[in-house]
Amino acid sequence: MTDTGIVNISSFNKLKKSKNIKIKAIIKNLSVFYSDKCAVDNVSMNINAREVTAMIGPSGCGKSTFIRCLNRMNDVIENCTVKGSILIDGYDIYHPKIDVVKLRSQIGMVFQKPNPFPKSIYDNVAYGPRLHGIATKKNDLDNIVEESLTKAGLFKEVKDRLNDTAIGLSGGQQQRLCIARTISISPSIILMDEPCSALDPIATAVIEELIENLKKSYTILIVTHNMQQAARVSEKTAFFHLGKLIEFGDTKTIFTNPREKQTLGYITGRYG
């Protein structure tokens, strides 16, 4: 494949070769502005495939804005401008020829507050496959729903009440339903924006276990306020402060031997 504006395979492969690892996404000089306010300031980093990358940092540091850039959810916010480039599997996702709607079907997102649709459990999971025409026959759809719910570790709990409304589920179950909904259309990246912040510790543990399983097949980016969680689930950790990427590296290194003073200050709880 040759280089065009939209596909930038050669530089992608070069980088892949030089680092000799499975790179999923390359973020280069990314800046995000809300009107004049700079929310993300010149961030560059590489995301590895089939790994969990955690974003930590104090509130308002731009980590949520950052991951929302990867499926272009910031597009729906008025006055939000994005500069720099993001290559995912070699595709420049901010190229004008990119179909945002199709992009979002390949980069799933789980939100901070569980947001199931006020429909039945079945319809929640089946919505994506129906929308994209992945499954048209009832049988195929049933299989996808079951598979997604099983992967999200929810199937056993809800298999007898798939037609009940999703609103009746507990918070943790709702969040797992949202994860099932996300993986029902087999995305290649899953973005998680503080998925456990509205959940109790037990539900959190269930979700963390789920993330552990999911990373075998998906690339996961997770924003979290909980540093133990970042330490538990992630391979790589990025520390943001005031829109800047202060430090990015292996989770172990970040938590045991950070390079920057600010990182040390944050992970030891001195500010945030």
Nearer to another protein, 54 or 67 (CB): 67
Using the CB atoms, write b or e for 188-226: b if 16+ within 10 Å: bbbbbbbbbebbeeebbebbbebbeebbeebbbbbbbbb
Of residues 151-190, which lie at the interface with another protein (CB under 8 A)? 165, 167, 178, 181-182, 185
- CB of 127: closest distance to another protein in angstroms? 7
Residue entry with tokens 């720099």? 84
Nearer to another protein, 108 or 153 (CB): 108
Instruction: Answer yes or no: are the C-beta atoms of 152 and 183 closer than 8 Å.
Output: yes
| Tokens matching residue 61 | 């540091």
Nearer to another protein, 1 or 76 (CB): 76
Euclidean distance between CA atoms 255 and 227, whole angstroms: 9
Stretch that binds another protein, among 28-36, 68-76, 149-157, 202-210 (CB under 8 A): 68-76
Number of amino acids touching another protein (CB under 8 A): 28
| Tokens matching residue 238 | 């990025």
Of residues 70-129, which lie at the interface with another protein (CB under 8 A)? 71, 73, 76, 78, 101-106, 108-109, 111, 113, 115-118, 127-128
Amino acid in position 95:
H
Residue among 14, 22, 83, 132 that touches another protein (CB under 8 A): 132
- CB of 222: closest distance to another protein in angstroms? 15
Nearer to another protein, 70 or 162 (CB): 70
| Tokens matching residue 134 | 């992945």
Q: Which residues bind another protein (CB under 8 A)?
A: 71, 73, 76, 78, 101-106, 108-109, 111, 113, 115-118, 127-128, 131-132, 165, 167, 178, 181-182, 185
